[in-house]
């Protein structure tokens, strides 16, 4: 399975790119969504974060208010590092679990959408990486319009990420989102067309997880040989039909 890492500057258009990948039938693992999940009440990360930052970051229902937490971490790099220590191990664990599920389901390609792809080290599980960039002033304008941030607040969030030139230098493909939304979507379609594995590689991707299951069956199940025979016939038949 080809794993493509997707990242970019805040408000650069990464969400639009991610939605276009989905529209093209490519599964997307959203690290932001997973980050929200691990900060839900009852999660280990939630407990560790509240113990460190205190009840002032909670809303009236006892949930973590991301705006309040953001006001703390984006003005203090040390606090931001501590938040990452509390959350990143659990986020990585869930991401790897989702990757394993997609692989076992036989998907030929998936996208790992991570704002801090290189900073977190998750680029290491990606065969290719796509970085969405746009001019800094455009980012600041979008953050002001979209989130209501002051310029100081917007700059703090932009500056908290890796510099755009460093990020771009590490990417397989850089998409400069300076034109229309349609142009950005066209770029993503071109990437999928170029990178999506061929039917042969896709078939091999399906065969690999089946092989794992069959191998386990042969070791642990008394009817393993029968399963092996049927699975082999199915794989060969699939390849012939394709």
Q: Residue 35: name the closest of 99, 103, 84, 75 by CA.
A: 84
How many other CB atoms sit within 10 Å of the CB of residue 149?
20
> What is the structure's pLDDT at 68?
94
- CATH architecture assigned to 2-195: 3-Layer(aba) Sandwich (3.40)
> What is the structure's pLDDT at 48?
97
CA distances from 194 to 5, 15, 88, 215, 223 (A): 15, 21, 32, 33, 42
SS3 category, 176:
strand
Q: What is the pLDDT of residues 97-124, one digit of tens each?
A: 999 999 999 899 999 999 999 999 999 9
pLDDT at 237 > cutoff 80: no
**Lowest pLDDT segment from 1-10, 49-58, 196-205:** 196-205
**131/172 Cα distance (integer angstroms):** 8
> What is the structure's pLDDT at 35?
96
- What is the pLDDT confidence band of residue 212, given thresholds at 50, 70 and 90? low
> What is the structure's pLDDT at 143?
94
In the chain, where are the structural domains located? 2-195, 199-241
**Lowest pLDDT segment from 39-53, 56-70, 225-239:** 225-239
**216/231 Cα distance (integer angstroms):** 13
Return the DSSP state at 178.
-
Q: What is the DSSP string of 26-86?
A: --EEEHHHHHHHHTSTTSHHHHHHHHHH-GGGB-TTS-B-HHHHHHHHTS-HHHHHHHHHH
**205/139 Cα distance (integer angstroms):** 39
The runs of H, that is alpha helices, within 171-198 are 181-195
Between CA 92 and CA 96, with CA 95 as vertex, the angle to 5 degrees is 85
Give the bridge partners for 188, in sequence order. Answer: none
> What is the structure's pLDDT at 201?
58
- What is the pLDDT confidence band of residue 202, given thresholds at 50, 70 and 90? low
Between these two residues, 172 and 200, which has the higher pLDDT value? 172
């Amino acid at each position: 399975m080809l794993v493509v890492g997707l990242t970019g500057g805040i408000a650069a258009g990464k969400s639009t790119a991610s939605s276009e990948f989905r529209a093209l039938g490519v599964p997307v693992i959203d690290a932001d969504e997973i980050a929200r999940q691990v900060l839900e009440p009852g999660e280990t990360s939630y407990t560790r974060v509240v113990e460190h930052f205190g009840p002032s970051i909670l809303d009236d229902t006892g949930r973590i208010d991301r705006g309040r937490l953001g006001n703390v971490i984006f003005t203090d790099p040390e606090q931001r590092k501590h938040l990452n220590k509390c959350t990143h191990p659990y986020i990585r664990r869930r991401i790897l679990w989702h990757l394993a599920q997609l692989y076992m389901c036989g998907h030929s390609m998936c996208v790992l959408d991570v704002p801090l792809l290189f900073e977190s080290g998750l680029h290491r599980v990606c065969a290719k990486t796509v970085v969405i960039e746009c001019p800094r002033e455009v980012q600041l304008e979008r953050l002001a319009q979209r989130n209501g941030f002051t310029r100081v607040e917007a700059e703090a969030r932009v500056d908290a990420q890796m510099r755009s030139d460093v990020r771009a230098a590490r990417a397989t493909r850089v998409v400069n989102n300076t034109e229309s939304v349609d142009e950005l979507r066209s770029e993503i379609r071109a990437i999928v067309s170029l990178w999506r594995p061929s039917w042969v590689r896709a078939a091999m991707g399906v065969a690999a997880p089946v092989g794992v299951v069959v191998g386990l069956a042969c070791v642990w199940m008394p009817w393993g040989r029968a399963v092996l025979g049927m699975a082999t016939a199915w794989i060969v038949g699939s390849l012939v039909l394709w």
